[in-house]
Amino acid sequence: MKTKMKSSTPAPSSHSAPVNAWDMALEQLDTVAKHIRLDRGIHEFLRYPKTILSVSVPVRMDNGTVQVFEGHRVQHNVTRGPAKGGIRFHPDLTLDEVKALAFWMTLKCAVMGLPYGGAKGGVRVDPKKLTLGELERLTRRFASEIAIIIGPEKDIPAPDVATNPQIMAWIMDTYSMGIGYSAPGVVTGKPLEIGGSLGRNEATGRGVVVIIEEAFRRLKWPLRGATAAVQGFGNVGSVCAKLLAGMGVKVIAVSDVDGGVYSERGLDIEKMLAAKAKGAGVKDFHAPGTTRITNEELLECRCDVLIPAALENQITKDNAPRLKARMVAEAANGPTTPEADRILLKKKIPILPDILTNAGGVTVSYFEWVQDIQSFFWNEDDVNKRLKEIMMGAFNNVFQEAQTGNIDLRLAAQVVAVRRLAEALKIRGVYP
């Protein structure tokens, strides 16, 4: 099994320091609170994650030595239902980043109307440096360390950066061994054989494309013949690129962690996917008219839609003034800093915000959980149809909020989410 890291772009030393993701999340929350005159108590409540569990993850390596990795699971909020959110493996992972990602999951589930709160977890590790056996032992030990707070009714992990269905299967198995019976509903994004859902693998990318298509339609921009640049060629970026190319969009630039390629005429995504399946990196893709570009160049290339599908902190105050995209569709979580948001707003570049745009993954995770609880499985058409319905419904709510409030789409999405959360919190009350 291969685990591929999605793209990250380390900022060159001339750039300012990366923005702390948790500071960024709090700044966004404060902006929403001010805009809707949120009750002070509720505002305060949302500024603190409900539960933070930090664990050490000792792993017996193949050479007999023991290495210890740092892991976290953060549940930001459970007011609207069990906590929900992915687990990522990344060498630069920090607790503040996990807190921010958990907060964004709370907002994401609320804006989509899913009956969940928000969580996130991860291990600070470079999985590319582990053998398959080491990866399994790391995953199982991490799963057993967080088993005290996860469960089908409590907190349901899923894949995120550099984790995949096999890793979910190990988590499900470890948890099930501990309680003495199989609990498929403890994680989503599982392989089909053990209670996964059809359509889950492609769901995030598919959802991104639904939102882009609808945004183009509202703006009366033609999608066929439009140009797209995709940063990240992992589970999300590669599916976006494939589906967009299938709809007649020219995907002119794609990158992964090691760099990218550009073609004015549009890249052959099917060929790139075939090369990726054989283990090739994006930058090594050769075809007539195709040239190499860096991640920085990709973000600044002229295109109709720029799709950051990698990590946080990619569009910053340093590069935002140079962006030449007509629209940004956030397939990643938190790719744009608040300072960059303000710059793009001035440049009149609309941003389709992460908590709406990339919510297809958690939406089909919800379907998977429902199917597991009922032990009754749907066909792929049903999954995709219901996914589209929920994405379109959420888009409409957010778009309407933006129009009536004369605000940008990020603020509108967060307003819809925080209002729902505040309502639920008011009804439940603060315990005791």
Q: Minimal distance in Å, beta carbon 37 to ligand GLU?
A: 29
Q: Minimal distance in Å, beta carbon 260 to ligand GLU?
A: 23
Catalytically annotated residue among 50, 99, 120, 190: 120
Q: How far apart are CA 95 and CA 73, in angstroms?
A: 9
Q: Minimal distance in Å, beta carbon 188 to ligand GLU?
A: 5
Quick one: 311 or 327, whose CB is closer to ligand GLU?
Answer: 311
235 binds ligand GLU (CB under 6 A): no
Q: Minimal distance in Å, beta carbon 303 to ligand GLU?
A: 24
Binding mask 84-113 for ligand GLU (x = CB under 6 A): xxx---------------------------
Residues 160, 162, 163, 166, CA torsion sign: positive
DSSP letter (8 states) at residue 48: S
Type of residue at 153:
E
Given a contact cutoff of 8 angstroms between Cβ atoms, the answer to whether 104 and 354 are in contact is yes
Q: How far apart are CA 157 and CA 189, in angstroms?
A: 9
Q: Minimal distance in Å, beta carbon 332 to ligand GLU?
A: 9
199 binds ligand GLU (CB under 6 A): no
188 binds ligand GLU (CB under 6 A): yes
| Known active-site residue 120 | yes
Residue in the block written with tokens 């390629």: 261
Contacts of 121 (CB under 8 A, 6+ apart): 71, 72, 73, 74, 85, 86, 87, 88, 98, 146, 157
Q: Footprint of ligand GLU on residues 132-161 (CB under 6 A)?
A: 158, 160
365 binds ligand GLU (CB under 6 A): yes
Quick one: 38 or 236, whose CB is closer to ligand GLU?
Answer: 236
122 binds ligand GLU (CB under 6 A): no
Quick one: 162 or 362, whose CB is closer to ligand GLU?
Answer: 362
333 binds ligand GLU (CB under 6 A): yes
Given a contact cutoff of 8 angstroms between Cβ atoms, the answer to whether 66 and 58 are in contact is yes
Q: Which residue is nearest to ligand GLU (CB)?
A: 86
Short-list 67, 117, 76, CA closest to 95? 76
Buried b (16+ CB within 10 A) or exposed e, 107-144: bbbbbbbbebbbbbbbbbbebeebeeebbbbbbbbbbb
Quick one: 240 or 320, whose CB is closer to ligand GLU?
Answer: 240
Q: How far apart are CA 265 and CA 267, in angstroms?
A: 7
Q: How far apart are CA 257 and CA 91, in angstroms?
A: 13
5 binds ligand GLU (CB under 6 A): no
299 binds ligand GLU (CB under 6 A): no
362 binds ligand GLU (CB under 6 A): yes
DSSP letter (8 states) at residue 322: G
Exposure of 333 by Cβ count < 10 A (0-12 exposed, 13-18 middle, 19+ buried)? buried
Q: Footprint of ligand GLU on residues 339-358 (CB under 6 A)?
A: 358
361 binds ligand GLU (CB under 6 A): yes
Quick one: 61 or 95, whose CB is closer to ligand GLU?
Answer: 95
Catalytic residues: 120
Give the binding site for ligand GLU (CB under 6 A). 84-86, 158, 160, 188, 333, 358, 361-362, 365
